[in-house]
Structure formats: structure tokens, C-alpha cells
Homo-oligomer: A and B are copies of this chain.
């Protein structure tokens, strides 16, 4: 895949070599994300950060990644502030907004909308998520996190055993991660969810076809005893006919310090796409694990910055210039502590 000038709207665009190229560039962004060095390579460039749906985390992550490369960010946040409500087509919006920036990040609640938008954009478009459909940078940051966590143990992604837990039916992040894992070999996936929230059957089939070994279960404990990663997700109450039924299910898929310590391997890594619901009746991933060194959930969001910086650098073709416009950070650097 040629990244220069490309739209990034689906993980289906990526071959293994592409994923690894992104990860390799992401590694090189670390000194900048850690605020050891500043680069101004994109000084004067403008990101149109067009979020036609509320999302503080992803929106700020994209914006900060662009600032970290030296660029400026113009932004919209939320649907009602858009000409879309006057009947403008997404293609018109794209044609206009792409005149105002060098690259666009776009989130929109409607499935397929980002790809539609991209067809009319005159500058590269990076998807920030389109409804239940795709959120490619989230999938890439998840896999990048797995790669880093495994590498710290002298392991590769090949040979991984991962348990995906919770709402596997509606959670787009686990679907996308499942697809990306098809690019790797000797992968084992344990899908743990209530029967009503099972991973889509056709996706299970295509993952099996690509060589992934898959176990499906609705029991948590006996299935997390020998995995490298537990990837927890939120079970949303509104998926069930009653709160009582939801609570019944949620109770069976919660991870906390006692369960983790008793049943998981001591080096099993804990992931979650965030936000996690910390209200007492949800609590899918207990705060008593917050200080555990294997809890990787905030390393995931930190890695998101690296992956997004890498994509900007590749799409805008400045990978080899990043270090040329760099200097040392001169202010207090909280990251180094």
C-alpha cells in the first residue's frame, strides 16, 4: 500500500507489511510523544479535525498528534454545528472543507459516511470512526499495544493467545482487531460473551479460514487461565430486555484484582478500548487493578498518539524529515518521571 496521499478509512486496506510499516514509524515517534524532543516538520500544515459526533478522547488524540508534528488544527465537534442539517450532502461538505486543510480526520455517526466523504475530499481523509462500522486507528493502536506488550516479554504477535470478553456483538473494536489478527500466524482467540452478545458468526468463519483457532464460550474464569491478553469490553444495559437480565450477565464477565490474581497467568496483559464504565452497576474492569503493572489500558491511549502521528507522517510523506526539524523540549517534562 502506498500511504502517501492515501485515505485511511478501513482496516481492510492493510496488509501485514503495511501494518508493520505503521508500527515501525510509530516507534520512531516516541521521543516526540514523550516530550523529550519537539519536531516542527509540519509547521504551517492544517488538520481539519471534523468530528460530526461527540468524542473528546479520539478528537483530542488526533489533534494532539498533529500538534506534536508541528501542525495546526481546525476543528468541529458535534453534529448540530454543521451545514449537514441544511441538507448539504457529505460530498459537498468534503469538497468545501478539503479546501481549508492539508489532511482531514472525520467522524460521523452514519456507517459508510467517512468513505463517502473521502471520495469527494481533495486531501487525505483519516477515519475517526463511522458508527458501528470502522474505527481503523483504534484497531491499529490495539494491535500496536499487543505488539509492544508482547515484545517486552520477548514475544511476537505471531503465536498470540487472546481472550475477548464482554459485548462481542456490538463492540466494533473487537471486530476490527479480529480482522487485523488474520494477518498474523498461529493466533488463538477465545471469545467470551453472553450468548446474546456473541461475536458475529461470519467474522468467526473468516477468521477461522485465515487460520485463527477460535473458542467460543459464555464462561469467563476457565477461559482466561492461559491467555497472553485479556481484552475486556463494556456490556451495555440497553442490549438486554431488562436491567435484571443485564446485571446477571455483567456480573459474570467482570474482571477485578481477585479474579485476575487467582485465575490469570502472572504476566497476562489487561486491555480495554475505553471508556470503561466505572459506575457500580457496570464496572466491567475494577479500579482495584489500576496500579497493576499488567494493566495496559492507559498505555493503549498513549500508543494511539504514536499510531496517529505515524499515519500523519506517512500520508503527508514527511517520515524521513521528522528528525530534521527537531529540538529538545525546554519546559518541565512530566512524562519523564
| A323 on interface, CB distance cutoff 8 Å | no
Interface-forming stretch among A19-27, A79-87, A153-161, A174-182? Answer: A79-87
Contacts of A38 in B (CB 8 A): 43-44
Give A260 Cβ to nearest chain B Cβ, in Å.
18
- Known A-B contacts A96-B301, A321-B330, A331-B318; the reply to A72 vs B67 at CB < 8 A is yes
Give A113 Cβ to nearest chain B Cβ, in Å.
14
| A329 on interface, CB distance cutoff 8 Å | yes
* Residue pair B83, A57 in contact (C-beta under 8 Å): yes
- Known A-B contacts A96-B274, A99-B298; the reply to A89 vs B287 at CB < 8 A is yes
List residues of A (95-109) whose CB comes within 8 Å of B's CBs. 95-102
List residues of A (42-70) whose CB comes within 8 Å of B's CBs. 42-46, 48, 50, 54-57, 59-61, 63-64, 67-68, 70
Residue from A76, A277, A331, A333 with most neighbouring chain B CB atoms (10 Å): A331
The count of chain A contact residues (Cβ–Cβ below 8 Å) is 82
| A208 on interface, CB distance cutoff 8 Å | no
A68 to B74, CA, bound (A): 11
| A317 on interface, CB distance cutoff 8 Å | yes
- Cβ contact of A332, chosen from B59, B73, B298, B316, cutoff 8 A: B316
* Residue pair A278, B100 in contact (C-beta under 8 Å): no
- Cβ contact of A56, chosen from B70, B81, B333, cutoff 8 A: B81
A318 to B332, CA, bound (A): 8
| A124 on interface, CB distance cutoff 8 Å | yes
- Cβ contact of A64, chosen from B39, B60, B88, B101, cutoff 8 A: B101
Q: How many copies make up the complex?
A: 3
* Residue pair A64, B298 in contact (C-beta under 8 Å): no
* Residue pair A100, B277 in contact (C-beta under 8 Å): no
In the complex, per-residue mask of A100-139: 1 if CB is within 8 Å of any chain B CB, else 0: 1110000000000000000000111000000000000000
In the complex formed, the residue of B with least CB distance to A45 is B331
In the complex formed, the residue of B with least CB distance to A50 is B56
A-side residues, CB < 8 A to B, are: 4-5, 35, 38-46, 48, 50, 54-57, 59-61, 63-64, 67-68, 70, 72-78, 80-83, 86-89, 91-93, 95-102, 122-124, 274-279, 282, 287, 290, 298, 301-302, 305, 315-318, 321, 327, 329-335, 337
What are 22 pairs between A and B in contact, CB < 8 Å?
Answer: A39-B44, A44-B329, A45-B329, A46-B64, A55-B81, A56-B83, A56-B93, A60-B97, A64-B100, A64-B101, A83-B275, A87-B275, A87-B276, A87-B277, A88-B275, A92-B276, A96-B274, A99-B301, A122-B334, A123-B335, A124-B334, A321-B330
19 extra A-B contacts, CB within 8 A, seeds A56-B97, A87-B276, A92-B278 = A5-B332, A38-B43, A39-B44, A46-B64, A56-B76, A57-B83, A63-B74, A64-B74, A73-B74, A75-B75, A83-B274, A87-B279, A89-B278, A91-B290, A92-B274, A96-B274, A122-B334, A124-B334, A315-B332
